Each structure stands twice: as C-alpha cells, then as structure tokens.
Amino acid sequence: MAGKKKKVEESKGGAPEWMVTFGDLMSLLLTFFVLLVSFSSIQQVKFQKALGSLHGALGLLPYQESVVFQNEPLIPQLSDYQNKRLRTLAMELKRMVREGGLEKQISTEMMDDGILVRIDSPVLFALGDDRLKPNALPILKKIAESNADLSTMLRIEGHTDDLPIHTNRFPSNWELSTARALSVLRYFVEQGISPDRLAAVGYGEYHPLVPNTSPENRAKNRRVEIYILSESLDRNLMDDANQS
C-alpha cells in the first residue's frame, strides 16, 4: 500500500491539468486576434485603392489602381462640368465650321476622355509652310478661350502625306509636321494657355487616315489634330509627346 501511495503522489507532480487547456485557449485567442488584425489591414488597403479609383474616375486625382480590375488600366473620365463645357465647345465649333463652309475641312469628335478637333492643313497653312493663316485664327482662338479656365490638357499632332519635302528649313516631313504642331502650340500660349498643359508632336506621313493612293486621300492625310483631354490622364503621355 505504501508503494502504491508513493506512485500516486509522484504522478501528481508538474503543472496542473487545467494549465494545458488554458495554454491552448490562449494560443487560439492569439491566433484569432492576429487574423483579425491582418484582415483589417487588407480591407484598409482595398478601401484606399477603391477610394483612389473613384477619385481618378471623377477627375480629382491621377490614375489609381482599381481593386476590382487590378490588371486593367483605369480610363479617366471627364467631370460633368468639363464634359458640358467641351460639348458646348463642339457645338460652337460646328456652327463656325458650318457658317464658314468648312464642313469637309474641319471635324469634331467627342471621346470618353475629351474632344478631338481635326483640321485639314490647307485651312491652317500654305503648302510647305508652317505659318498660320489669318483666316484660321478664329477657330484656334475659340478653342483657346473655351479651355482657358478649364484644367484640360491640349495635345497637338501634326501629320503630312507621303510626298517627300526637301527644303533648307524642312529636310523631311518630320520637321514640317512638327513645326506645324508647334505653331499651333505657340498660338495657344499667346492666348493664355499655360505651357504645362500643352504638348506638340509631329508624325510626318506615318499615321495616315487613309492610304496615300490619290490626291484626295493625300489631302485628308495633311492635317493637324488637337486633342483636348481630361487633366486626370497620365501625364507620362504628354511627356512622351514632348520628347517625340
């Protein structure tokens, strides 16, 4: 009996049995709260991304990655105010074009992120020249005035046909198309548009609207395109244009 009693007393040594259950409970609680904190952080990040995407869509902030479409770029949209002003500009330009009998030489197109004004080169410039014609100034002035108090970006593109040009001033169509785009840009600066809202690029004959297979088609390809874009667009696009 004494031996059995001693063995029983030895088996009761060490931590009490309730400590094992308590330790397991504490481990589970710690894991639970760690998971709660991690989930909370993830949701906060998603919330910030969602908020940034919303602001980007409203034209308040530059591009932010969307939570829902993380692998697709967000296309900035014009604000209601900008959209209304540009639609008004499009209607006024169409009226001026109609009154001047220039429907075939000047066109306007509304886009999701702005407006495109396409002007045939003969309206703006003499053949092989980059100096603006006086009768082209009212159209350009209307564009400048309508964007003076907006936060839009103006990208001017010069295009030519595929007929080569070789002069001391314009060794190729690259120089001619770029010089024409810059002439329009300088006019906008003179009208009060901030230079940091402007970009000019010359594409030469390499972005034709139609194949250069006839005099009529070549006339369509000789043009200046003015893109009036939402400020929320990625400015890297404008920087690329300035470096072209």
Same domain, 114 and 174: yes
The neighbouring-strand residues paired with 156 are 200, 226
Same domain, 36 and 84: no
Both tokens of 37, joined, read: 């904190």
Backbone angles phi, psi at 239, to 5 degrees: -65, -40
Same domain, 117 and 170: yes
pLDDT at residue 31 in the model: 84
Distance of CA 15 to the CA centre of its chain: 68
Same domain, 45 and 118: no
Same domain, 118 and 156: yes
Q: How far apart are CA 3 and CA 5, in angstroms?
A: 5
The residue among 106, 137, 100 whose CA lies nearest residue 120 is: 106
With respect to residue 70, please indicate whether it lies within any of the assigned structural domains: no
With respect to residue 74, please indicate whether it lies within any of the assigned structural domains: no
For the chain, the distance separating the N- and C-terminal CA atoms, rounded to the nearest angstrom, is 102
Tokens 């066109």: give the residue.
107
Same domain, 85 and 133: yes
Pairing of strands 153-159, 223-229: antiparallel
pLDDT single digits (tens) 51-102: 565 555 545 444 444 444 444 444 445 567 777 877 888 888 888 888 888 8
pLDDT at residue 10 in the model: 54
Same domain, 48 and 118: no
pLDDT at residue 238 in the model: 43
Domain extent at residue 233: 80-243
Same domain, 9 and 117: no
With respect to residue 73, please indicate whether it lies within any of the assigned structural domains: no
Same domain, 165 and 91: yes
Q: Which helix (H) or strand (E) holds 117?
A: strand 114-120
pLDDT at residue 55 in the model: 53
C-alpha angle with apex 218: 217 to 221, nearest 5 degrees?
90
Collect all residues with Cβ–Cβ distance below 8 Å to 230 and sequence separation of at least 6. 59, 76, 77, 78, 79, 82, 113, 114, 152, 153
Q: Are 224 and 180 in contact (CB under 8 A)?
A: yes
Same domain, 229 and 119: yes
Low-confidence ranges of the chain (pLDDT < 50): 58, 60-76, 233-244
With respect to residue 160, please indicate whether it lies within any of the assigned structural domains: yes
Same domain, 38 and 139: no
pTM: 0.63
The CATH number of the domain holding residue 196 is: 3.30.1330.60
With respect to residue 156, please indicate whether it lies within any of the assigned structural domains: yes
Mean of the per-residue pLDDT values for the chain?
79
With respect to residue 65, please indicate whether it lies within any of the assigned structural domains: no
pLDDT at residue 22 in the model: 77
Count: domains in the chain? 2
With respect to residue 32, please indicate whether it lies within any of the assigned structural domains: yes
Tokens 């696009």: give the residue.
237
Distances in whole angstroms, Cα of residue 41 to Cα of each of 27, 30, 34, 143: 21, 17, 11, 48
With respect to residue 72, please indicate whether it lies within any of the assigned structural domains: no
Percentage of residues of the chain with pLDDT beyond 70? 71
Same domain, 211 and 162: yes
Q: Are 142 and 89 in contact (CB under 8 A)?
A: yes
Tokens 């004004």: give the residue.
117
